[in-house]
Amino acid sequence: MDVLLDNLDLYGPFFWTTIKLFLISGVASLIFGTFLAGLRVSPVPVFRAIGATYVTLLRNTPLTLVFVFLVFAYPLLEILELSYFTAAAVALTIYTSAFICEVVRSGINTVPVGQAEAARALGLTFSQILGQIVLPQAIRSVVPPLMSTLIGMLKNTTIAAGFSVTEAGAIRQYLSERGDNQLIGLLWVALGFIILVAILSFAQRALERRWSVAR
């Protein structure tokens, strides 16, 4: 308990940074991942190819490499200066989006083809079919894997500690230098993550109950 109370100045702000990083990259990857899924089921072959290439590339690259690229290589291009926090959010977003994309696409596959055909028969355009008919049903059926991906991303935020973002993953190194017991310190970090994951699991159950599709 002492380790936690003596270092509240670490745990508070650092976990808050973790939460901010999670919320920003979580929302951004849900949006971008869904957009990518749209590309992958689009009737235009070029779009499908772009989507498939992106997913293959990012899903096969370790997240640390994505971070290294954004923090050490990207600044040399001198396009637009990113703060380290922004760079971390971008790295997490472009990486997680690839996984979200595949989850959403598997959701799209659960929607019977007849739905899209009926919508087309009514004269809806592709984006209308996707946005109003297919995606609402698709996302409802993939709430659990979607949450799993987000929980994975929550834990991935700790990688940012190595790239100048002081979040929960950096607490151990701070404790080490302060001379506090790291093992106990890490137990408190673990507890913090358990609480955050519990909130996400609760949200998952609530959404499942509200959105369950009767088939």
Report the residue number, 34 or 166, with the smaller CB distance to other proteins: 166
Phi-psi region of 158 (alpha: psi -120 to 50; beta: other; left: phi over 0): alpha
Token pair 């957009």 is found at 35
Token pair 């899903």 is found at 59
Q: Are 52 and 36 in contact (CB under 8 A)?
A: no
Name the nearest CA neighbour of 67 among 146, 175, 163: 163
Q: Cβ of residue 153: shortest distance to other proteins, in angstroms?
A: 21
Residue type for 111, please?
Answer: V
Between the CA of residue 101 and those of 114, 157, 163, what are the distances in Å? 23, 19, 26
Q: Output the six-digit token pair for 199.
A: 């909130």
Q: Cβ of residue 27: shortest distance to other proteins, in angstroms?
A: 24
Burial class of residue 62, CB neighbours in 10 A (0-12, 13-18, 19+): exposed
Report the residue number, 92 or 175, with the smaller CB distance to other proteins: 175
Q: Cβ of residue 92: shortest distance to other proteins, in angstroms?
A: 17
Report the residue number, 128 or 182, with the smaller CB distance to other proteins: 182
Q: Cβ of residue 19: shortest distance to other proteins, in angstroms?
A: 18
Report the residue number, 38 or 185, with the smaller CB distance to other proteins: 185
Q: Which residues of the shown chain bind other proteins in the complex (CB under 8 A)? A: 64-65, 68-69, 71-78, 83-84, 161-164, 166, 170-183
Q: Cβ of residue 90: shortest distance to other proteins, in angstroms?
A: 16
Report the residue number, 71 or 130, with the smaller CB distance to other proteins: 71
